[in-house]
Chains A and B, each alone.
Chain A
């Protein structure tokens, strides 16, 4: 893996792109939700203003240096994972096995947050963190099986190769592995923390859970993390199942920009599907979430996985 000048530029540009896209996605979703409620809704730029305000607060209370580190950990973890996601067919860091690395990196950011919130000593944040970890245990099972199925199907552990293999008309993995795609989308709902799986951050119940003691720039950092993780998670789905948005030939700059726009639109669609489910649902209990994820999505992922394994063996 050699780093050209373009790679170095991309290392700085990709997080900025994810930052802008993430806040845009959140702003659009707030407008979208408002329209479903028959409200006017905030301006699309509201999320940028919110983050600006949070970083512009005159005072930010910290409880210990672990809290500072935890917030940084979350942001750095999500920046690290965005570098592995192919955007418009081109990932900054791409090598054989990067999908497995990414699966671990996705967990680092929430763990960083758990570390930081644990340091605040508020019981609500401890409840929120334990709920978050329990939820992770629930949705990681079907999601891991989906990843294995996709890796086996394309016989590669590199996201870039998976995207490249889906090039061409009607070659997307969602058509080849529809059951895996459904299981992955169901897992995405909890990954994004949308209802009915928003138990870790239940504002009316445990006072926004992990964020309960975060204010000012610390809350700002968590909001940046949240916005960017939406891009990472929705983008991962697009790369796995929707061909990474690669429609134009990617060898020219214009084609690459076109691919990035298509990728962003597809990711936004995945996010809005999740938001529309969020709008009409209440909140599940923890037990209900576990039962749900270890039921239907796991079964679908397992069916799809066994289909891939059997077809690889050459029986079908």
Chain B
């Protein structure tokens, strides 16, 4: 049986044949995480969601704890470019079908030579998210075997999702058209040097 050999944290209900997800309150798991890792810090949120900030090197272990406790849906991995603080914020989105709680696991990494260990040992689906973030933000994930070019074919420029990526300049350089006078552009497109 494929279902039994698969390492599934959900329990199969023998009577109905359906999976019954674990229902563990998020507060219990959070307490366990904070007990285990001294640098973990919980941030209060409203509604059915919880947020925790952990250190860069304890992400995989924290995710493993969450996974064991029923928060086993790896929803997404996102990256935020905090250019003023010279850091990237990585957000691991988790969801529990039993507790019906969304967990945001956050960590900060340096913007210079960004690198964070891959979590594919815990959540295999992260392999594609990490590939995308490598392409869009230039973050390196040691341990991920598949950090090849993903959506941007034949891309040679800097990672395009960075805040200091000059989109208009890139368009003018590569697509052979002149963009309008930058002074007439809306304010958010003005660069710091422009009057």
A and B touch in the complex (CB under 8 A): no
